[in-house]
Every structure is written in structure tokens, then in C-alpha cells.
């Protein structure tokens, strides 16, 4: 019996001193395994007289149970410790800068969208969206471009033939939108004035050369309220182009133009310096057309469910890709969509440098390019 007490004390000491799971397992085998002293004692019970056998058996079982539960407890502690050690060793400090350097680059188009959203966002505009696959009501009819309107021919439209088994019905077919102007209608359908939105997005026309790709990007703007005038249009767009080109002074002019959805309509030019070798935005000897704009045509307001006797507004639309080419000196539009990583490395932007009016649009002092 005394022996048994010693055995127990010794066993518990060993168990509690086990430093890791591996040594605990060795201790377990030595203490309770087939060849252990305890197992041998159990086996030797058979040779004892009955009463002693019962008494000794009981005591042995008690000791065995105690040893086993001590093993179990120690195992839990060591397992938890091992997990904590592992977590500590594998901890990643996500606040550290990326190493060796940021590899991914932001596409110039995405950057330009960020920039225009920062500019118009500060003026109180919201971003609106519409579908790429559009019906002709939103893409044309509601914009004062009914079927057979000559202005439709200006846009080399992709019509969708969703059921080739039937004769193609040009008037009913869906199109992939030729302009973001349809978002004007979709916004008016959802919301009564005051409206102040920009709609960035993809547009599509059947055209392909150094300055045209079948898919390109536009930015639409729409402002509607009770007393909106041409002066608001001019002030808003003047502020926009100065902010966009990051210039304090930038000459602008408006030329009369024609768009079915605006009346009067204009095109806005910005001053630039053209030499044989370069084109620089700013004061200079020449003008560069930058966007189309005008006062929203009453028919368009009506088509969107807005009363033209109560409200009026202005709209504008611009080609985002051309703006990117201009601002960042990218000569060929087609390269935008070739997915060449070398090109992106050269013309792309650091993805974590967010554009903002206060922190900087294209260069916020970070690792911009
Ligand atoms: N949707 C026109 C186009 O694709 C651009 C445009 C011009 C939009 C004048 C407008 C606008 O909202 O007022 O050529």
C-alpha cells in the first residue's frame, strides 16, 4: 500500500513536470502501458488470496484512475499551450507595409473614375448606375431620339438578337448601351428632383482605331432642380476641369452644338498648348474639345416623369478614356484593353493611394506611380 502511495506521488510529479505533449506521451506509456509497473501489479493480483485481491484491486484502480485523470488534465494544458505558441509564432502584423513592394497596379481608367468621383462627390453629387444591356426606350427614345431620328445614325449601335429563330426586329431589340445618357432617365424614374448625379460606366459602339475601341467609358452628369440655369452648368464644369487637370487657371470656352436630349446644347473646350511634339493642357495657342453638355430638353424630363414646367436642369457627357489619354499622356487607346502587365506597370497607379480633393487626386505624396 505504501509502495502504491509512493508510486502515485512519483507518477503525478512526473506528469506535472512534462514539458510538452511528446514527453507526456512517453510518460503515459511508461506509467500505464502494457509493460508498466502498474499493469504488472494488476496482473499479479490473480495470485493473491481473495480478500487481499479485492482490497488491493480497489486501491490499484483508484491510483490508476487518478493517474489517468492527471494525464488527461496535463494533456489539455499542454495542448492549449501548444496552440497558443503556434498562434504567436504565426502571427502576421497586417499594419506592416507590403514586401518587397506592391506588385499590383490600378488601371488608369479606374484611377480616373476615382478622381471624378472625388471631385463631383465633394460638390454633392451621388453616383448612379444603369445596365450595360439596355432597352431602346432608355438608350434612345426617352432621350428625345425616336426611331428613325437621324442622330441615331451617329452612334454605331450594337443590337442584340436574343432569339435567332425569329426574324430580327430592329425596333424591339435590346442594345448594349451606346451612351451613359440612359442613366438620366433611370434616375428620374426612381427619384424626384432635386437630382444631382454622375453616372460612370462602360459604353459600346462598333468602331476601332487608335482613338476608338468597341468598348469605351463615359461619364454622364445630371442636375435637376427648380432654378437651375446655364450659369450653374458653366460654373460646375469650370470647377470640374480645373480640379481634374489639377490647374489653378485653365481657359475654357463653350461652342454651340447639337444633342437631341439638350436644348440649348454646347461643347466645352479647354485651352491647350500644341507643338509638333507635345500637347499640354492649360493656357496656350489652341483649344481641345472635352465634353458635351446642355440644358435638359423638356421631352427628356417628361419621359423621366419630371414636370418641365416646374423643374429644369443641365446634363453633360464625356469620354473618360480620352480624358485618361490626355491627363496621363497615353498615346493609343487600344493599349488600355490589351491587359499587358508591362503597360500597366508603366501607366498604372499604386492601388492604395486613394484620390481625394484634400489629399491629392493623382498624386497624394505616396508611392503614386
Ligand atoms: N451622350 C452623348 C454622346 O455619347 C454625350 C452627351 C452630350 C451627354 C451632351 C450629355 C449631354 O448628357 O448633355 O455623345
Would you give per-residue pLDDT tens digits along the chain (369 residues)?
678 888 899 999 999 999 999 999 999 999 998 888 888 888 888 888 888 889 888 989 999 999 999 999 999 999 999 999 999 999 988 888 777 776 788 999 999 999 999 999 999 999 999 999 999 999 999 999 998 888 777 778 999 988 889 888 888 899 999 999 999 999 999 999 999 999 999 999 998 887 889 999 999 999 999 999 999 999 999 999 999 999 999 999 999 999 999 999 999 999 999 888 888 899 888 999 999 999 999 999 999 999 999 999 999 999 999 999 989 989 888 999 999 999 999 999 988 788 888 888 887 554 433
- The CB of 120 under 6 Å from ligand 1? The reply is no
292 lines ligand 1 (CB under 6 A): yes
Cα separation, 280 vs 275, in Å, equals 9
In angstroms, rounded to a whole number, what is the distance separating the alpha carbons of residues 369 and 362? 9
Check: CATH 3.40.50.720 for 108-347?
Answer: no
Is any atom of ligand 1 closer than 6 Å to the C-beta of 294? yes
Could you tell me the pTM of the whole model? 0.72
How far apart (Å, rounded) are the C-alpha atoms in residues 368 and 318? 25
Domain ranges in the chain are 2-90, 108-347
Contact 159/175 with Cβ under 8 angstroms? yes
Ligand 1 close to Cβ of residue 269 (< 6 A): no
The three grid cell numbers given for residue 31, joined into one nine-digit string: 506509467
Residue of 144, 176, 142 lying closest to 159 (CA atoms): 176
Residue 139 phi/psi, 5-degree rounding, is -80, -30
Amino acid at each position: 500500500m505504501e509502495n502504491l502511495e509512493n508510486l502515485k506521488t512519483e507518477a503525478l510529479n512526473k506528469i506535472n513536470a512534462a514539458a510538452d505533449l511528446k514527453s507526456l506521451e512517453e510518460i503515459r506509456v511508461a506509467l500505464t502501458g502494457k509493460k508498466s509497473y502498474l499493469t504488472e501489479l494488476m496482473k499479479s493480483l490473480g495470485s493473491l488470496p481473495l480478500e487481499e485481491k479485492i482490497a488491493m484491486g480497489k486501491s490499484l484502480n483508484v491510483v490508476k484512475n487518478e493517474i489517468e485523470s492527471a494525464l488527461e488534465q496535463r494533456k489539455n494544458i499542454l495542448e492549449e499551450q501548444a496552440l497558443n505558441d503556434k498562434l504567436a509564432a504565426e502571427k502576421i502584423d497586417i499594419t506592416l507595409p507590403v514586401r518587397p513592394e506592391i506588385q499590383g497596379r490600378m488601371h488608369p481608367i479606374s484611377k480616373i473614375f476615382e478622381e471624378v468621383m472625388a471631385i463631383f462627390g465633394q460638390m454633392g453629387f451621388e453616383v448612379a448606375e444603369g445596365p450595360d444591356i439596355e432597352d431602346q426606350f432608355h438608350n434612345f427614345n426617352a432621350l428625345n431620339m425616336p426611331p428613325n431620328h437621324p442622330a441615331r445614325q451617329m452612334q454605331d449601335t450594337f443590337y442584340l438578337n436574343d432569339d435567332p429563330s425569329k426574324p430580327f426586329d430592329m425596333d424591339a431589340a435590346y442594345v448594349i448601351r451606346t451612351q451613359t445618357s440612359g442613366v438620366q432617365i433611370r434616375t428620374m424614374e426612381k427619384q424626384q428632383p432635386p437630382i444631382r448625379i454622375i453616372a460612370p460606366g462602360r459604353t459600346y459602339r462598333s468602331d476601332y482605331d487608335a482613338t476608338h475601341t468597341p468598348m469605351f467609358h463615359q461619364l454622364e452628369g445630371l442636375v435637376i432642380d427648380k432654378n437651375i440655369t446655364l450659369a450653374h452648368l458653366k460654373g460646375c464644369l469650370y470647377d470640374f476641369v480645373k480640379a481634374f487637370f489639377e490647374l489653378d487657371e485653365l481657359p475654357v470656352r463653350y461652342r454651340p452644338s447639337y444633342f437631341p436630349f439638350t436644348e440649348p446644347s454646347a461643347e466645352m473646350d479647354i485651352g491647350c498648348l500644341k507643338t509638333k511634339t507635345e500637347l499640354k493642357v492649360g493656357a496656350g495657342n489652341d483649344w481641345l474639345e472635352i465634353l458635351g453638355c446642355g440644358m435638359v430638353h423638356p421631352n427628356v424630363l417628361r419621359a423621366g416623369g419630371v414636370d418641365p414646367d416646374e423643374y429644369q436642369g443641365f446634363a453633360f457627357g464625356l469620354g473618360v478614356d480620352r480624358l485618361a489619354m490626355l491627363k496621363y499622356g497615353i498615346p493609343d487607346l487600344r493599349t488600355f484593353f490589351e491587359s499587358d502587365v508591362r503597360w500597366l506597370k508603366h501607366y498604372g497607379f499604386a492601388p492604395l493611394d486613394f484620390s481625394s480633393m484634400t489629399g491629392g487626386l493623382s498624386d497624394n505624396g505616396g508611392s503614386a506611380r
